[in-house]
């Protein structure tokens, strides 16, 4: 079973890192829009298919996946901060991302004690449940990366000058030791 | 530190599940192409941006991320099966995915004993390294889901009738117990 510090390393440390990367990516989108002299709300309303979420909704959903994923794993889903899904501007959506990063950082590793075995459900599941480990590995992780990647893809498709490094962020490399 | 059975649950069981989902998604793409009477190679060569990988290359890279991720975590990267990146048809790329699924299933949970602490490097890193846990959480997971999601996004953008359920696959729900 996955232990509490590893869950923390994934849903707090790594998800906060990815959300920070997303804020920086939106900064690149703002520069691009300024150069080309168009309003960034055009990007926020862009989508890859007419029946797929727009950029702003992809970001909201990435935020909710991280927020609710951490809260449910920690058994704290009764007191999750509510976001009204009304963001329309870059400033508003970046503020939402920052608020979720701050929320995630409120979880200590100990908050996830016993999370792997906890039965976890969601409103749409009609009482069905997954174990915490199943929920993290098969639901939270693929969903979180789905929405972050799709947000990236919408911007990439619209010509914003970003690459994989912007998505992944810095790696904690250890330098090679001289032989 | 992340334990061997959890690493196995992620890089073998879950990645194989996602790759199986991808094969099924390609089946939907084939149906769509047959209905619209165009060759599936048009989809395989599609991309969201002229300087981003095409669908076929996204799939190859998803496969390599899973294959090399598992191999490096297990310390077995000297004997990884080679794929020549020459697939041009749906049959060829599906065969590659299937071969990687079969390769992944060759790893037992014990194969990842000590993987979290193993120093892991890649050819492009010039001798720099990550711990196994850092490599899995910050490199393999975001990269794998990036390429699977981008493959999905290319098909979605081209009108293939797929949704999030095709991407996520089935969940091992436990039914609600009657009160």
Residue B179 is classified by DSSP as -
Q: Which tens digits make up the pLDDT trace of A49-70?
A: 999 999 999 999 999 999 999 9
A40 compared with A177, residue with greater pLDDT:
A40
CA atoms within 13 A on the CB side of A108: 3
What residues does each domain of chain B span? Answer: 4-168
Concatenate the DSSP letters of all residues of B101-158 into one string: HHHHTT--GGGGTTTTTSEE--GGGTT-BEEHHHIIIIIIHHHHHHHHHHHHHHHHHT
CB B174 within 8 A of CB A130: yes
Concatenate the DSSP letters of all residues of A102-161 into one string: HHHTT--GGGGTTTTTSEE--GGGTT-BEEHHHIIIIIIHHHHHHHHHHHHHHHHHTT--
ipTM: 0.97
Which superfamily is assigned to B4-168 in CATH? dinb family like domain (1.20.120.450)
Q: How far apart are CA A18 and CA A12, in angstroms?
A: 10
**What's the pTM?**
0.97
Whether A179 has a pLDDT exceeding 60, the answer reads no
- Name the residue among B48, B128, B175 with its Cβ closest to that of A153: B48
Query: Which residues in chain A touch residue B143, judged by CB atoms under 8 angstroms apart?
Result: 164, 168
Q: How far apart are CA B16 and CA B4, in angstroms?
A: 17
Test A17 with B138 for CB contact under 8 angstroms: yes
Q: Which tens digits make up the pLDDT trace of A123-166?
A: 899 999 999 999 999 999 999 999 999 999 999 999 999 999 99
Test B128 with A9 for CB contact under 8 angstroms: no
């Amino acid at each position: 079973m996955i232990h509490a510090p590893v869950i923390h390393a994934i849903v707090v440390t790594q998800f906060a890192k990815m959300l920070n990367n997303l804020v920086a990516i939106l900064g690149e989108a703002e520069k691009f829009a300024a150069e080309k002299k168009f309003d960034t709300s055009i990007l926020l309303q862009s989508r890859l298919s007419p029946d797929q979420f727009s950029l702003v909704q992809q970001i909201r959903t990435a935020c909710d996946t991280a927020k609710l994923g951490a809260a449910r794993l920690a058994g704290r889903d009764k007191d999750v901060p509510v976001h009204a899904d009304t963001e329309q501007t870059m400033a508003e959506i970046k503020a939402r991302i920052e608020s979720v990063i701050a929320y995630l950082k409120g979880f200590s590793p100990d908050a996830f004690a016993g999370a792997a075995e906890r039965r976890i459900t969601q409103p749409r599941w009609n009482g069905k449940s997954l174990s915490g480990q199943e929920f993290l590995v098969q639901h939270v992780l693929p969903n979180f990366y789905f929405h972050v990647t799709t947000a990236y893809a919408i911007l990439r498709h619209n010509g914003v000058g970003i690459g994989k490094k912007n998505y992944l962020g810095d790696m904690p490399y250890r330098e090679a030791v001289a032989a």
